């Protein structure tokens, strides 16, 4: 391939595509190198279940993103059939919860208001590039000051409450507020989803706030399914790329970054081909970006330490069961089956499931988030996110995979007794598979834990925030950067802005 | 919980049976976990031996790391600021290394046996740093501090002493060269290195050979004014030579609690060891390049020639407006040079552009009273003492 490019994006994940298109719209000549045959990265039916909506700021900078979303309600399954059904609307949810406990219902509204105001205060911070204190510039200090003010403006009482809660575990807060264990379990599930934390791990509360900030500032609202599935979403992005004349080279994995005078000037593919550009952007995870693209021989020891200590062990597996008929879930109607179904009956249950994962082992009673696709057709598919399916499990995924799948199915059988007889095929994608097939080291959804020491200006590592790496001309736009994973496109958009600022 | 409350005593070096026998003062101190003499008889006497005869010092407590592996050459070049890619086998190089901010962590010497085998000698323990730096390199490390006995043999008659000991043709060894010997049935590595700024050698051997080596060398130097010397005498000789010492003349980056106390190589007069045009990357290169380009080094480490004869130990340095511009890090009256010398860390541009009208405020104790002296200083080269014999090949021999 000839012709020099302005920008090469490594990886055609959704953030890479968003970033490439924003730059192409600003008349940059952009090439995307994708290692896999397909674009979209982790935005694939085999990985993604429910998604938040792409924020307006991202879709508008792409010139509109014609993707249709279907809002989803949530149902917390109970073995006894006493399910809780929540839609993300406070009035309706209040009514539902008061059916179990009027005290919980009132508390829920209070709790929701409080959390929602906190997540709103974080909100503007979530959308923008984080400040970089090392820069010592006015605008960076101002950003930090603004965040401080946003929280302070909530009033003294709420400010104190925020300070109290920021490092708190979600279990303590839920047990202080609610008596219904199923409701506790459901909220705790959302707080730990995708992370390496249990409900009693410090910092699990900020995880929930973080999730709310991208989910319409609501605990159970802002949960969507893409009309037409992940494929429709990726195809839309590819259509836009086509219009913006973004070139995409698939099956072209990048071996390393080519440098000159300590500046990135191009990439070398595994095929040996060299392509040059003014700027290189990595959609890969931080570890791959630093250790493979930048190369260990070009890193300071301190940076190696930080990357080595960067926590990015994935904990979620996706199990897909194709069925020959719709399974009978106890006490569930058609509407319930179209909801997001969660199996996390109590905080203690989640914590028990979490315990073995601390030692990289597997719990045979994990927590599940399920989606029944094509429920009205003859070939429904049950998509299940299985949490605490540890990356690099000690038992060895090769050996235990079948047993693990059977355990999950047995677990679902408690809620849908006939599930066993409905199953045609079973496919599981473990974090190890994600690492292998999607080139994400650790197989983590977010390319790195969402925890307080890996957030904001500390994301992915100190000294590499604001989408720039330690190498001049090499940028990052993946989920490993602020504000993290989830189908939001914000890292991609912010990275594009950083590059435009530097130009 | 039951805790073992027995404390761990300081370790004894393999020379301890001999050093303790030679010590008349029983003055010891803790050097890197070992107990070694500060002085044997009187510091002045030991210093005089170092400058006029042969002095012997137990160097065993120095941190010694073996670096092995197919990437050892590349790794060493990555670790330190100096360009070692052209370093020859069986030579030694003086080096410093920095952290990512380009702040000096320590200085030391690197011994090259071959492209796959090196030995690093330094003051501060860096086993951990070596391991973390090694990511991506095929190297392994061995802490050889306890398994290597080391002796410094320094002074004008040191070459003759070692020749008597059995080191044939030693006078032909160039400065920063090293040679492997087999003496009295033991392998002894002799390098022409040292910390006194004079002709001198360092010997590295198996701890089992330590006592035999000590005895044989003492015997060999009997007619050549040989004398063991301790830390205090070494301190005097190293100041005269203008050598810097970590955590005395500058704070090691890993040891400073305050980031502003960390120093870049340019700020401690070690800019000549930073090779920014080195082809490969080295730790701290980006930061050092930036510092060099912007010229925003804040301090400098200079030699001072001070009026009078009262040592300016710990003195604050002032300009003519009596503004504080720095501090003396090491000072002494040099008996050999008959000069009042000091090493001082100054705020730039003092010491670089402004070398005149600099004063030291010296508090000189005189029988329970302090005499306050306002002494004029001259900024001079740090190397106060550098005799011709130091680098002469063949080295001077005496009978």
Across chain A, what does the average pLDDT equal? 92
Tell which phi-psi region holds residue A147, choosing left (phi > 0), alpha (psi between -120 and 50) or beta: alpha
Interval B58-67: pLDDT, tens: 999 999 999 9
Q: Given a cut of 80, is residue A336 above it in pLDDT?
A: yes
Q: CA A170, A171, A172: angle at the middle one, nearest 5? A: 95
Distance, in Å, from the CA atom of B283 to the CA atom of A300, rounded to the nearest integer, reads: 5
**Secondary structure (3-state) at B224:** helix
Could you tell me the strand order of the sheet in which B117-122 lies?
Answer: B91-98, B104-114, B117-122, B63-68, B140-143
Q: Is B289 on the interface with A (CB under 8 A)?
A: yes
Under 8 Å between Cβ of B337 and B307 = no
Distance, in Å, from the CA atom of B317 to the CA atom of B312, rounded to the nearest integer, reads: 10
Q: Is A295 on the interface with B (CB under 8 A)?
A: yes
**Which residues sit opposite B333 in a β-bridge?**
B340
Contact state of A291 with B135 under an 8 Å Cβ cutoff:
yes
Q: Where are the domains of chain B?
A: 11-62+147-241, 298-384
| Fold observed for domain B298-384 | Elongation Factor Tu (Ef-tu); domain 3 (2.40.30)
Six-digit token string for B323: 């503004």
Distance, in Å, from the CA atom of A487 to the CA atom of B226, rounded to the nearest integer, reads: 77
pLDDT band at B5 (very low <50, low <70, confident <90, very high): low
**For A303, which residue in chain B has the nearest alpha carbon?**
B100
What is the structure's pLDDT at A293?
94
Distance, in Å, from the CA atom of A1 to the CA atom of A4, rounded to the nearest integer, reads: 9
Burial of A416 from C-beta contacts in 10 A (0-12 / 13-18 / 19+)? buried
- Measured between beta carbons, the chain B residues lying within 8 angstroms of A296 are 135-137
Q: Is B68 on the interface with A (CB under 8 A)?
A: no
Q: CA A343, A345, A347: angle at the middle one, nearest 5? A: 120
Query: Which of A5-19, A112-126, B251-265 comes out lowest in average pLDDT?
Result: A112-126
- Measured between beta carbons, the chain A residues lying within 8 angstroms of B100 are 300-303, 463
pLDDT band at A3 (very low <50, low <70, confident <90, very high): low
Q: Given a cut of 70, is residue A211 above it in pLDDT?
A: yes
Count of CB atoms situated within 10 Å of the CB of B52: 15
Residue B321 φ/ψ, nearest 5 degrees: -90, 10
User: Which residues are CB-neighbours of A84 under 8 A, at least 6 positions away?
Assistant: A75, A76, A78, A96, A97, A100, A180, A182, A183, A186
Residue A377 φ/ψ, nearest 5 degrees: -100, 180
Q: What is the mean pLDDT of residues B320-327?
A: 93
Q: Where are the domains of chain A?
A: 5-68+227-311+447-502, 89-217, 316-390+394-429
Contact state of B74 with A301 under an 8 Å Cβ cutoff:
no
User: Which residues are CB-neighbours of B355 under 8 A, at least 6 positions away?
Assistant: B378, B379
- Measured between beta carbons, the chain B residues lying within 8 angstroms of A291 are 135-136
Burial of B320 from C-beta contacts in 10 A (0-12 / 13-18 / 19+)? exposed
| Fold observed for domain B11-62+147-241 | Gyrase A; domain 2 (3.30.1360)
**Secondary structure (3-state) at B320:** coil
Q: What is the mean pLDDT of residues A323-333?
A: 93
Interval B171-229: pLDDT, tens: 999 999 999 999 999 999 999 999 999 999 999 999 999 999 999 999 999 999 999 99
Six-digit token string for B341: 């010398």
Residue whose pair of structure tokens reads 């590499």 in the numeric block: A464
pLDDT band at A177 (very low <50, low <70, confident <90, very high): very high
What is the structure's pLDDT at B252?
94
Under 8 Å between Cβ of A367 and A353 = yes
Distance, in Å, from the CA atom of B289 to the CA atom of B281, rounded to the nearest integer, reads: 11
Six-digit token string for A408: 């999950």
**Secondary structure (3-state) at A228:** coil
Distance, in Å, from the CA atom of B79 to the CA atom of B99, rounded to the nearest integer, reads: 9
Under 8 Å between Cβ of A274 and A448 = no
What is the structure's pLDDT at A2?
47
Contact state of A296 with B136 under an 8 Å Cβ cutoff:
yes
Residue whose pair of structure tokens reads 């994940």 in the numeric block: A13
User: Which residues are CB-neighbours of A135 under 8 A, at least 6 positions away?
Assistant: none
Q: How far is B264 from chain A (nearest CA, A)?
A: 15
Closest by alpha carbon to B67, among B9, B24, B5, B129? B129
| Buried/exposed A14-40: b ≥16 CB within 10 Å, e otherwise | bbbbbbbbbbbbbebbbbbbbbbeebb
Q: Is A291 on the interface with B (CB under 8 A)?
A: yes
Q: How far is B98 from chain A (nearest CA, A)?
A: 9
Q: Can you list the positions of beta strands (E) in A147-283?
A: 224-226, 247-249, 254-260, 263-269, 274-282
Query: Which of A125-139, A233-247, A284-298, A354-368 comes out lowest in average pLDDT?
Result: A125-139
What is the structure's pLDDT at A1?
45
B336 preceded by a cis bond (ω within 30 of 0) = no
Nearest by CB to B99, from A291, A297, A302: name it.
Answer: A302
Under 8 Å between Cβ of B19 and B29 = no
Q: What is the mean pLDDT of residues B248-256?
A: 93
User: Which residues are CB-neighbours of A111 under 8 A, at least 6 positions away?
Assistant: A173, A177, A178
pLDDT band at A140 (very low <50, low <70, confident <90, very high): confident
Q: Given a cut of 60, is residue B320 above it in pLDDT?
A: yes
Under 8 Å between Cβ of B228 and B215 = no
Interval A10-51: pLDDT, tens: 999 999 999 999 999 999 999 999 999 999 999 988 888 899
Q: Is A436 on the interface with B (CB under 8 A)?
A: no
Q: Is B292 on the interface with A (CB under 8 A)?
A: no
- Measured between beta carbons, the chain B residues lying within 8 angstroms of A302 are 99-100
User: Which residues are CB-neighbours of A122 under 8 A, at least 6 positions away?
Assistant: A147, A150, A209, A210, A213
User: Which residues are CB-neighbours of A489 under 8 A, at least 6 positions away?
Assistant: A14, A15, A18, A54, A55, A58, A59, A62
Under 8 Å between Cβ of B104 and B98 = yes
Q: Is A271 on the interface with B (CB under 8 A)?
A: no
CA A300 from centroid of its chain's CA atoms: 30
User: Which residues are CB-neighbours of A479 under 8 A, at least 6 positions away?
Assistant: A13, A15, A42, A285, A445, A446, A447, A448, A485, A486, A491
pLDDT band at A139 (very low <50, low <70, confident <90, very high): confident
Q: Given a cut of 60, is residue B349 above it in pLDDT?
A: yes
ipTM attached to this prediction: 0.86
B394 preceded by a cis bond (ω within 30 of 0) = yes
Six-digit token string for A155: 């009033």
Under 8 Å between Cβ of A399 and A411 = no
Query: Which of A61-75, A456-470, B167-181 comes out lowest in average pLDDT?
Result: A456-470
Q: Is B283 on the interface with A (CB under 8 A)?
A: yes
Nearest by CB to B135, from A308, A463, A470: name it.
Answer: A308
In this prediction the pTM is: 0.89
Report the 3 state secondary structure along A406-447: HHHHHHHHCCCCCHHHHEEEEEEECHHHHHHHHCCCCCCCCC
First to last CA, chain A: 25
Contact state of A297 with B286 under an 8 Å Cβ cutoff:
no
Contact state of A262 with B289 under an 8 Å Cβ cutoff:
yes
Quick one: which H or E segment has residue B390?
Answer: none
For chain B, counts of helices (H) and of strands (E): 8, 20
Under 8 Å between Cβ of A280 and A10 = yes
Nearest by CB to B133, from A298, A301, A470: name it.
Answer: A301
Give the whole-number percent of chain A exceeding pLDDT 70: 99
What is the structure's pLDDT at B2?
55
Nearest by CB to B100, from A291, A295, A301: name it.
Answer: A301
pLDDT band at A377 (very low <50, low <70, confident <90, very high): confident
Interval B286-314: pLDDT, tens: 999 999 999 999 999 999 999 999 999 99
User: Which residues are CB-neighbours of A370 under 8 A, at least 6 positions away?
Assistant: A340, A341, A342, A343, A382, A383, A384, A385, A412
Q: What is the mean pLDDT of residues B121-131?
A: 94
Distance, in Å, from the CA atom of A274 to the CA atom of A43, rounded to the nearest integer, reads: 28
**For B74, which residue in chain A has the nearest alpha carbon?**
A297
pLDDT higher at A27 or A2: A27
**Which residues sit opposite B326 in a β-bridge?**
B317, B346
Contact state of A296 with B135 under an 8 Å Cβ cutoff:
yes
| Fold observed for domain A5-68+227-311+447-502 | FAD/NAD(P)-binding domain (3.50.50)
Closest by alpha carbon to B385, among B337, B342, B343, B313? B337
What is the structure's pLDDT at B116?
97
- Measured between beta carbons, the chain A residues lying within 8 angstroms of B99 are 300-302
Nearest by CB to A301, from B74, B280, B283: name it.
Answer: B283
Q: What is the dihedral of CA A4, A5, A9, A10, to 10 degrees?
A: 0
User: Which residues are CB-neighbours of A6 under 8 A, at least 6 positions away?
Assistant: A23, A28, A29, A30, A277, A278, A279
Interval A348-365: pLDDT, tens: 999 999 999 999 999 999
For chain A, counts of helices (H) and of strands (E): 18, 16
DSSP structure string for A67-109: --EEE--EEE--TTS--EEE-S-HHHHHHHHHTT-HHHHHHHH
Distance, in Å, from the CA atom of B378 to the CA atom of A465, rounded to the nearest integer, reads: 47
- Measured between beta carbons, the chain A residues lying within 8 angstroms of B281 are 262, 297-299
Give the whole-number percent of chain A exceeding pLDDT 90: 77
Quick one: which H or E segment has residue A119?
Answer: helix A102-127
Which residue stretches of A299-423 are H helix?
301-309, 334-337, 347-354, 397-413, 419-422
Q: What is the mean pLDDT of residues B233-237?
A: 96
Count of CB atoms situated within 10 Å of the CB of B380: 15
């Amino acid at each position: 391939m000839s012709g020099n490019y302005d920008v090469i994006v490594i990886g055609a994940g959704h953030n890479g595509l968003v970033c490439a298109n924003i730059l192409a719209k600003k008349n940059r000549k952009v090439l995307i190198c994708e290692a896999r045959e397909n674009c979209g990265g982790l935005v694939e039916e085999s990985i993604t279940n429910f998604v938040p909506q792409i924020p307006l700021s991202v879709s508008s900078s792409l010139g509109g993103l014609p993707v249709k979303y279907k809002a989803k309600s949530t149902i917390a399954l109970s073995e006894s059939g006493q399910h809780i059904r929540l839609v993300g609307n406070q009035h309706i949810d209040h009514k539902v919860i008061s059916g179990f406990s009027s005290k919980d219902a009132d508390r829920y509204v209070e709790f929701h208001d409080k959390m929602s105001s906190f997540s709103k205060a974080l909100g503007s911070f979530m959308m923008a590039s984080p400040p970089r204190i090392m820069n010592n510039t006015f605008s960076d200090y101002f950003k930090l000051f603004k965040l401080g003010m946003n929280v302070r403006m909530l009033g003294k009482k709420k400010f104190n409450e925020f300070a109290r809660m920021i490092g708190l575990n979600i279990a303590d807060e839920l047990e202080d507020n609610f008596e219904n264990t199923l409701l506790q379990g459901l909220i705790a599930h959302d707080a730990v989803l995708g992370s390496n934390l249990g409900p009693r791990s410090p910092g699990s509360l900020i995880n929930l706030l973080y999730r709310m900030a991208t989910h319409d500032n609501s605990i159970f609202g802002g949960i969507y399914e893409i009309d037409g599935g992940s494929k429709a979403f990726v195809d839309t992005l590819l259509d836009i790329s086509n219009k913006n004349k973004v070139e995409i080279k698939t099956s072209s994995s990048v071996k390393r970054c080519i440098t000159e005078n300590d500046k990135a000037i191009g990439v070398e593919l595994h095929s040996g081909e060299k392509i040059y550009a003014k700027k290189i952007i990595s959609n890969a995870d931080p570890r791959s970006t630093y250790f493979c693209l930048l190369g260990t021989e070009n890193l300071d020891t301190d940076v190696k330490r930080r990357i080595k200590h960067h926590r990015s062990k994935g904990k979620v597996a996706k199990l897909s069961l194709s069925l020959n008929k719709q399974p009978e879930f106890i006490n569930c109607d058609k509407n319930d089956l179209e909801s997001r179904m969660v199996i996390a009956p109590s905080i203690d249950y989640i914590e028990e499931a979490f315990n073995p994962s601390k030692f990289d082992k597997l719990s045979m009673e994990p927590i599940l988030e399920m989606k029944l696709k094509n429920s009205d057709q003859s070939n429904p598919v049950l998509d299940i996110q299985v949490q605490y399916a540890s990356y690099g499990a000690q038992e060895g995924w090769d050996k235990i995979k079948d047993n693990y799948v059977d355990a999950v199915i047995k677990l679902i059988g408690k809620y849908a007794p006939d599930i066993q007889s409905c199953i045609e095929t079973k496919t599981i994608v473990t974090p190890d598979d994600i690492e292998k097939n999607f080139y994400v080291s650790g197989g983590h959804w977010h390319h790195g834990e969402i925890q307080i020491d890996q957030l904001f200006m500390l994301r992915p590592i100190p000294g590499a925030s604001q989408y720039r790496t330690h190498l001049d001309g090499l940028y990052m736009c993946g989920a490993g950067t602020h504000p993290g994973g989830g189908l939001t496109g914000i890292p991609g958009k912010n990275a594009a802005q950083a590059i435009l600022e530097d130009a | 919980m039951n805790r073992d409350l027995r404390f761990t005593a300081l370790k004894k070096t393999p020379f301890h049976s001999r050093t303790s026998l030679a010590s008349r003062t029983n003055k010891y101190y803790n050097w890197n976990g070992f107990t070694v003499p500060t002085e044997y008889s009187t510091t002045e006497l030991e210093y005089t031996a170092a400058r006029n005869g042969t002095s012997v010092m137990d160097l065993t407590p120095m941190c010694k790391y073996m670096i092995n592996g197919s990437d050892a050459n590349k790794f060493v070049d990555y670790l330190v600021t100096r360009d070692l890619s052209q370093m020859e086998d069986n030579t030694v190089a003086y080096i410093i290394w920095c952290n990512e901010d380009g702040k000096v962590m320590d200085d030391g010497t690197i011994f090259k046996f071959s492209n796959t085998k090196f030995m690093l000698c330094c003051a501060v323990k860096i086993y951990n740093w070596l391991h973390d730096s090694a990511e991506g390199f095929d190297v392994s490390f061995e802490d050889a501090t306890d398994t290597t006995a080391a002796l410094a043999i320094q002074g004008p008659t040191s070459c003759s002493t070692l020749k008597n000991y059995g080191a044939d043709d030693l006078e032909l060894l160039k400065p920063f060269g090293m040679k492997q010997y087999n003496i009295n049935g033991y392998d002894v590595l002799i390098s022409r290195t040292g910390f006194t700024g004079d002709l001198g050698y360092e010997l590295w051997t198996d701890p089992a050979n330590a006592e035999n080596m000590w005895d044989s060398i003492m015997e060999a130097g009997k007619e050549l004014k040989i004398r063991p010397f301790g830390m205090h005498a070494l301190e005097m000789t190293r100041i005269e030579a203008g050598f810097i010492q970590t955590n005395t003349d500058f704070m090691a980056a890993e040891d400073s609690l305050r980031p502003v106390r960390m120093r870049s190589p340019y700020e401690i007069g070690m800019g000549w060891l930073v090779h920014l045009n080195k082809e490969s990357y080295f730790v701290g290169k980006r930061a050092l390049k930036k510092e060099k380009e912007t010229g925003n080094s804040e301090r400098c480490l200079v030699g001072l020639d001070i009026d009078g004869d009262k040592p300016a130990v710990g003195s604050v340095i002032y300009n003519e407006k009596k503004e504080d511009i720095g501090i003396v890090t090491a000072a002494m009256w040099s008996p050999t040079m008959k000069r009042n010398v000091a090493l001082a860390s100054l705020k730039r541009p003092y010491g670089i552009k402004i070398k005149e009208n600099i004063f030291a405020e010296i508090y000189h104790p005189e029988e329970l009273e302090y005499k306050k002296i306002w002494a004029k200083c001259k900024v001079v080269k740090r190397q106060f003492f550098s005799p011709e014999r130091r680098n002469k090949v063949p080295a001077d021999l005496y009978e």
